[in-house]
Amino acid sequence: MLGRLNHVAIAVPDIAAATATYRDTLGAEVSQAVPQPDHGVTTVFINLPNTKIELLEPYGENSPIARFLERNPDGGIHHICYEVDDIIAARDKLIADGARVLGSGEPKIGAHGKPVLFLHPKDFCGTLVELEQA
């Protein structure tokens, strides 16, 4: 079921500073910052040869990463995203196995324009897991 690691998401308090760290100090290729009002975050992608790092800064009120940054003011790894071929089949298998899907259980369109679901960290080694249809 599990496909590629699509991205590792790092929540940061200051996306301009974080982008500069990855671009200038670590010498990585970085994208422009893109505000995503529907998702409550601004995103920057760090393009690595085999996958991406997604930097996330809160956008607007009620950002889904605001509480995470209160607990982790320097930032930190917020979630990992795995690709699956069929997100509905993946969801149904996970639920049958007793895993908890967050929210309504229906896929939403994520920041990349593809259907995504989030899985409960307590069922996956303390890590917030996003599944994205490849």
The answer to whether residues 78 and 34 touch, using CB atoms and an 8 Å cutoff, is: no
Is 10 a residue that touches its own copies (CB under 8 A)? Answer: yes
The 14-43 site mask, x for binding its own copies (CB under 8 A), equals ----x--xx-xxxxx---------------
Q: Which CB sits closer to its own copies, 82 or 118?
A: 82
Is 53 a residue that touches its own copies (CB under 8 A)? Answer: yes
**Which amino acid would we find at residue 129?**
V
Helix, strand and coil content of the chain, in percent to the nearest 5, comes to 20, 35, 40
Residue 100 per-residue DSSP state: P
Is 12 a residue that touches its own copies (CB under 8 A)? Answer: yes
> What is the nearest approach in angstroms of its own copies to the Cβ of residue 125?
4
- Is 61 annotated as catalytic? no
The answer to whether residues 80 and 11 touch, using CB atoms and an 8 Å cutoff, is: no
Strands 5-11 and 52-58: parallel
Residue ranges in contact with its own copies by CB under 8 A: 1-5, 8, 10, 12, 18, 21-22, 24-28, 46, 48-51, 53, 55, 72-77, 80, 82, 93-94, 97, 99, 121-127
